[in-house]
């Protein structure tokens, strides 16, 4: 494959979609002959005619959402809905109930980050061996269990008794969920519309976080009027359990594997 340099793109944000969508098919089969600098430009140049030909990307996004919003893109909406809520209310609990400083609150999230890091080293081996549906379902089950565990906190808890275990479990679940879910969504999108599918995937992530936080803070505000801080936080987290529960149900029902499990 002959790769030639093109002028630097103007309006880079507008060019990201065709680049993401076409870079793999443009260079995957001839990767060894594409120089690192020219390959992205060549892929971008190849993507431009594909982006402007055929159906409108915006029309495709609507069609794609209409088909999958009730299942896999719905899952992509629900997962960050629960994640954004637990991080927000963990910060409230550590500062308002446990009396942590902002620095201590930030450091308290390290067990969650450490679990993410460790599982990131293992997920790449687990998915080819067991398949996306199994690993993704395990991850969402861990998210569900972690959020349910965290919803049992009360004013008598310490960080070790109330948050440490849920943080570790939620970190494990988050890492086991994201990669399989993204792989399944992108695999089920037509190759000509990978850019639109990627945009929809990211949009659902952002929308889910905002939606989940809005719902859980509304529950928290209503509960705080007649209960203490810790009880209101626990009530909001209990409401947030619905998000990973629905996500697990949809994913286990609708996900189609992209790889054949092997030992």
pLDDT value for 204: 85
pLDDT value for 39: 39
Per the structure block, which two tokens stand in for 62?
């609507």
pLDDT value for 239: 94
pTM value? Answer: 0.72
Instruction: Walk me through the domains of the chain, giving residue ranges and CATH numbers.
Output: 12-53 (no CATH), 59-254 (1.20.1250.20)
pLDDT value for 84: 86
pLDDT means per 10 residues, the chain with 263 residues, are: 41 44 43 39 42 47 52 84 91 95 95 94 89 91 96 94 96 92 78 76 88 94 88 95 92 67 51
pLDDT value for 72: 74
| DSSP track, the chain | ------PPPSSHHHHHHHHHHHHHHHHGGGGGGS-TTHHHHHHHHHHHHHHHSSS-HHHHHHHHHHHHTTTHHHHHHHHHHHHHHHHHHHHHIIIIIS---HHHHHHHTHHHHHHHHHHHHHHHHHHHHH-HHHHHHHHHHHHHHHHHHHTT--TT--HIIIIIHHHHHHHHHHHHHHHHHHHHHHHHS-GGGHHHHHHHHHHHHHHHHHHHHHHHHHHHHHHHTTS-HHHHHHHHHHHHTHHHHHHHHHHHHH---SS----
Residue 135 near residue 176, CB atoms below 8 Å: yes
pLDDT value for 218: 95
pLDDT value for 33: 41
pLDDT value for 154: 92
Neighbours of 25 (CB within 10 A): 15
């Amino acid at each position: 494959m002959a790769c030639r340099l093109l002028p630097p793109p103007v309006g880079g944000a507008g060019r990201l979609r065709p680049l993401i969508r076409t870079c793999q098919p443009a260079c995957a089969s001839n990767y060894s002959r594409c120089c690192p600098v020219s390959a992205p430009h060549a892929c971008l140049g190849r993507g431009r005619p594909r982006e402007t030909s055929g159906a409108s990307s915006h029309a495709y996004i609507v069609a794609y959402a209409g088909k999958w919003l009730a299942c896999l893109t719905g899952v992509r909406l629900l997962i960050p809905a629960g994640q954004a809520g637990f991080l927000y209310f963990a910060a409230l609990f550590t500062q308002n109930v446990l009396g942590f400083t902002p620095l201590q609150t930030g450091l308290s999230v390290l067990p969650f980050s450490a679990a993410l890091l460790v599982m990131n080293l293992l997920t790449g081996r687990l998915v080819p061996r067991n398949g996306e549906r199994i690993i993704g379902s395990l991850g969402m089950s861990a998210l569900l269990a972690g959020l349910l565990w965290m919803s049992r906190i009360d004013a008598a808890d310490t960080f070790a008794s109330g948050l440490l275990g849920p943080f570790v479990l939620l970190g494990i679940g988050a890492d086991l969920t994201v990669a399989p879910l993204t792989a399944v969504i992108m695999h089920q999108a037509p190759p000509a519309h990978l850019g639109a599918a990627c945009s929809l995937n990211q949009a659902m992530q952002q929308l889910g976080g905002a939606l989940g936080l809005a719902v859980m803070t509304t529950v928290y505000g209503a509960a705080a009027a007649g209960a203490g801080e810790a009880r209101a936080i626990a009530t909001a987290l209990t409401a947030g359990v619905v998000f990973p529960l629905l996500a697990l149900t949809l994913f286990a029902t609708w996900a189609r594997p992209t790889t054949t499990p092997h030992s």
